[in-house]
Amino acid sequence: MNEPAESFSASHLVFVPKAAQIARAAGGLLRDHFARGVETEYKGDVDLVTVADRASERLIRTRLAEVFPDHGIYGEEGTREQLDAEFRWYVDPLDGTTNFAHGFPQFCVSLGLEHRPAGTKPREDGRLTAAVIYDPLRDELFTAERGRGAALNGKPIHVSRTAELAEALLATGFPSRKRHANPNIHFYQEFTLRSHGVRRAGSAALDLAYVACGRVDAFWEFNLNPWDTAAGFLLVLEAGGRVTDFSGGPVRLASDEVLATNGLIHEELIGFFDDMFAGRNLAPIPTPEEFLRGRDQRNKGTREQEGGD
């Protein structure tokens, strides 16, 4: 996914205005729950779901059905309605549930619209058409429509101009369950050594929105779902960025690999992923035992030097 963005023009938007109202309403609900505190339960080993997730999805489902009655809805908390429709909304009613449950203020509502014309196969992606990501605590509304550019609170946004990985700030995420089967900790380590820093804030949708507005220069993650990616992918593309898999190939909404960047450092990152998967050019990291042994040797040398002075 790498298409040029045009300038943002709010007056020509078709889907965003109504979807933004719905996202703001759902965000207000989340903000109220966050202020009161909510009870949590588990969908899996450590995969949290809260009363707020479900209440937000109910609100979004009801409002979308009212304003876009012919559209389908595919929600994280189980909504599956009119999946044979020409347009389909991918809904994450609360992206960043773990943050939310722990009182960490980094979460959002994400709505991504896909156009699925007649003939689109069930497992085939359609064309991303509209995006809304709303951060209710910062009152930040990220929006985009295909060919209309991307905006933050109505003002045009663009990806950063950082041209080298060494000067870049990156973002990534880790799964809430089955972490032992996910290799990302190795990539996190290597990217931390090669970049200006890596942030792991716990909301893939906001990470993608931050790439779009230039707050971070790239985002990568394994095994994301369509409700995680649909809105964020379009935001990055409309802001002038690039979205692929780790080899530079096409990326799907439900993807094993996601790499979203400002475009300028994309090829450098692809080369790095290639090295990582091949085990080339990796920086050795001392184990805790090796670190302790080295520290003791340094301390011993310092004491000997001081004793000799």
pLDDT of residue 148 exceeding 50, the answer is: yes
> What confidence tens digit (pLDDT) does each residue in 182-202 have?
789 889 999 999 999 999 999
Strand partners, 10: none
In contact, 259 and 269? CB cutoff 8 Å = yes
C-alpha triplet 101, 105, 107: angle, nearest 5°: 75
Name the one residue in this structure whose structure tokens are 């030097």: 305
Q: What is the mean pLDDT of the chain?
A: 89
What element of type H or E holds 9? none
Query: Rounded to an integer, what distance in angstroms lies between the CA atom of residue 107 and that of residue 122?
Result: 30
In this prediction the pTM is 0.88
Tens of pLDDT, residues 23-37: 999 999 999 989 887
Strand partners, 292: none
Q: For the chain, what percent of residues have pLDDT higher than 90? A: 68
CA 51/CA 53 separation, integer angstroms? 6
- For residues 68 and 17, the answer to whether their CB atoms sit within 8 Å is no
pLDDT tens digits, 239-255 = 999 999 999 999 999 98
Distance CA 206, CA 27 (A): 14
Residue 261 one-letter amino acid: T
- pLDDT value at position 9? 54
For residue 229, CA distances in Å to 36, 140, 193, 256, 260 come to: 29, 18, 27, 12, 10
Under DSSP, the state recorded for 145 is: E
With beta carbons less than 8 A apart as the criterion, state whether 11 and 144 touch.
no
* Partners of 91 in the β-ladder: 75, 111
Residues 6+ apart with CB under 8 A from 279: none
Distance CA 256, CA 225 (A): 9
- What is the per-residue pLDDT for 43? 54
Nearest to 107 by CA among 125, 118, 120, 95: 95
Kindly state the greatest CA–CA separation across the chain.
84
Domains of the chain: 10-156 (3.30.540.10), 165-278 (3.40.190.80)
- Cβ pair 197, 171 in contact under 8 A: no
Are residues 97 and 109 in contact, defined by beta-carbon separation less than 8 angstroms?
no
pLDDT for residue 292 is more than 80: yes
Q: Which residues pair with 48 in a beta bridge?
A: 42
> Quick one: pLDDT band at residue 208, thresholds 50, 70, 90?
very high
**HSE, side-chain direction, 13 A CA sphere, residue 306:** 6
Separation between Cα atoms, residue 278 and residue 174, nearest integer Å: 22
Q: State yes or no: pLDDT of 228 exceeds 50.
A: yes
Q: What tokens does 293 get?
A: 């042994």
**Cα→Cα distances 61→58, 81, 258, Å:** 5, 9, 27
